[in-house]
Structure 1
Amino acid sequence: MDIRQLEYFLAIFDHGGFNRAATALYVSQPALSQTVRSLERDLGTALFHRIGKRAVLTEAGSALIEPARAAVRSMQTARASVDAVQELRTGRIDIAAMPSPAVEPLTSMIRDFGGCHPGVRVCVRAAFTPRDVIDMVRTGAAELGLLTIPGPLPEKEVVAHPVGVQGLVLLAPPDGPFRAGRTVAGEELAGQRLIIVQRGTAGRAYVDELRERGVEFTVAAETEHRASVLPMVLAGVGLAVMTDSWRRMAERAGALVLDLEPNPVLRIGLISRKAPLSPAARAFLDCALRREDAAT
């Protein structure tokens, strides 16, 4: 049984006969009759009594009317939903993003995309390291991913699109130990209390490298929740090395944001699977790349 058979069956009932139904459906009467006979064979019973040019429902045919209408309506709804997704009137995109690029540039990307396609929902999935993002995109847990990485963007397992660069900054409380506006050398963090994040991130790699160079500091706190770093800095727990994406939020909250020296360049990449993208994901990617082209 398929939906076309049910549509033909309902048309015969609604129009009172095979000829009228064939005319309404723009098909030949023999083709219509053949389709209905096929449906009857599938069900193992006759659906109509053929009385001259009239078609009268059998008991089985009467029992089929309601479920047939429900099935056809469901299919029509499904087709409308697919059309809406194809035309980007509705839909959903899953994006795996590391915490820092999720602050920026992802916020601006979602804002720009939403302005063009307000009916498409963007769902941001948490990923803590570049490897997490790559794995989520590669396995299909997310269709797109956003990461920052100190080296070249990944190319082997996914398709990567550069969408900017970021540096690292030092977040400090307003009452010290460094004055506003100055650049802090890595060696000056000796003796300081630092808030560090998990391994695999650029901020963690920076402080680990300092320690390898002999710069001694105290780890005041270690957190996987990057959203907790700024409140801890403001509370005086310690200093934190974070990506530049946190600058605006930290300054608005009252923290000092100081440039670091030396300062590695972090590449920001928007990645996708090598398989074809959904219309919504393709539109999001195109919008993000246009935004990057305009910025450069």
Structure 2
Amino acid sequence: MERRAAEYFLAVVEHGSMTAAAGALYISQPTLSVAIRKLEQQLGATLFERSTRALTLTDAGRSLLEPARQILVDIDRAQRTVRDVVSLRGGELAVSAVPAHAVDPLPALVARLRERLPDVRVVLRSGSTDAVETDLRAGRCEAAITDGPVRAGDELCHHQGEDQEIVLVLPEGSSLPDPLPRHRLNEMPLVLELEDRWLRSELGEYLTHVVVDCEHRQAMRALVSSGAGAALMSRGTAARAVPDHTIVALDPPPRRPFVVVHRGGAPSPAVTEILAAAGMACAGVGSSPVNVPGRPAAFPAR
């Protein structure tokens, strides 16, 4: 049952005649009569007893009263929800991110986003580089935060933020040159995240002594603390997650990309807010990928 049919039916009930209801709806009486007949044919039931004086509801018509009212309530609620989301006065805003950016700089971005959109609930999804891109293409999130290139095609737009310096994290009290030449990673027993494809691609030739492949990023601190091995993570993540550990820079320093990706075309208000929270600008419809030099304003200095 469509909204217009529900409105027409309820107007006839309220006004008691086709003529009065048509006047209230600003349509002709024949148009309303045809619409009501069509609704009766669709439902397979007579809704009104027609007499020379007034229209009265049949049993079938009375049974339709509450469902018709509920249809209008539900449609109005849905429209308000969509308006709230589009205008960012409410609803949810989903972001999908690779775990490597979950501790830093994603929390700073989300905090800035919450300041800008206090009535919107932020939903954070997590997954591999491929998974967050799939979330975006499938419409499960407004933006993906990743560390690698997206698959070929012009249907996505990506924005490059400040790269994240990768450092070596060891148990407290460890003694190594700082910075440490990359080739000396071959001497280190290492704990690596299982799905960290970027790190393995960037430093693969130096990762010859991996002793633990860890599926759960949150377990890496405990593994390093227990002496299972050293870990590689961004300097910002190390400062927040393992401040009591020894942090050693690498020479030359690897830098993990920080990339915000969104669907192409006109950016939604939500995407515009995400980019603003990340200190990035959106080039708009049909834009090429945007590289933003300098540090995003939302993030503290490393």
TM-score, normalised on structure 2? 0.80
Whether the 8 Å CA contact 1:184–1:259 is kept in 2: the answer is yes
Greater helix proportion? 1
| 1:98 equivalent in structure 2 | 98
Which sections of structure 1, spanning at least 5 residues, go unmatched?
none
Change in CA separation of 1:30 and 1:289 when aligned onto 2, cut-off 3 Å:
farther
The alignment's C-alpha RMSD in Å is 2.9
SS in 1 for 2:175: coil
Residue deviations 1:148-198 (CA, integer Å, cap 9, x gap)? 24xxx447233211122112111111111337xx32222444533221233
Cα distance in 2 for partners of 1:293, 1:243 equals 16
CA distance in 2, matches of 1:228, 1:45: 65
- Pairwise CA distance, 1:267: 2.0
Distance 1:95 1:53 in 2: 61
CA distance in 2, matches of 1:94, 1:295: 19
Residue 145 in 1 paired to residue 144 in 2?
yes
Q: 1:173 and 1:276, CA in 2 relative to 1: closer, same or farther beyond 3 A?
A: same
Structure 1 residue 285 displacement after superposition? 3.7
Identity, in percent, stands at 31
Determine if the alignment matches structure 1 residue 238 to structure 2 residue 229.
yes
Secondary structure of 2:163's aligned partner: strand
Measure, in 1, the Cα distance between the counterparts of 2:296 and 2:211.
41
Q: Quick check: 1:271 aligned with 2:261?
A: yes
The SS at the match of 2:261 is strand
Q: In 2 relative to 1, CA 192–42 (structure 1 residues): closer, same or farther, beyond 3 Å?
A: closer
Corresponding position of 2:66: 66
Aligned to 2:189: 193
Give the aligned residue type for 1:69. Answer: R
Alignment-derived partner of residue 47 in structure 1: 47
Counterpart AA for 1:222: D
Residue aligning to 1:164: 162
1:176 to 174, 177, 180: 174
| Number of matched pairs | 284
Corresponding residue SS for 2:187 = coil
Contact map agreement 2:94 2:141 (CA 8 A) in 1: yes
Q: Distance in 2 between matches of 1:206 and 1:172?
A: 20
Aligned-pair distance for 1:245? 3.4
Which residue in the other structure is 2:212 paired with? 221
Residue 233 of structure 2 aligns to a residue whose secondary structure is strand
Query: In structure 1, what residue type is equivalent to 2:92?
Result: R
CA contact (8 A) 2:195 2:215 kept: no
CA contact (8 A) 2:277 2:298 kept: no
Q: 1-side partners of 2:41 and 2:138: how far apart?
A: 43
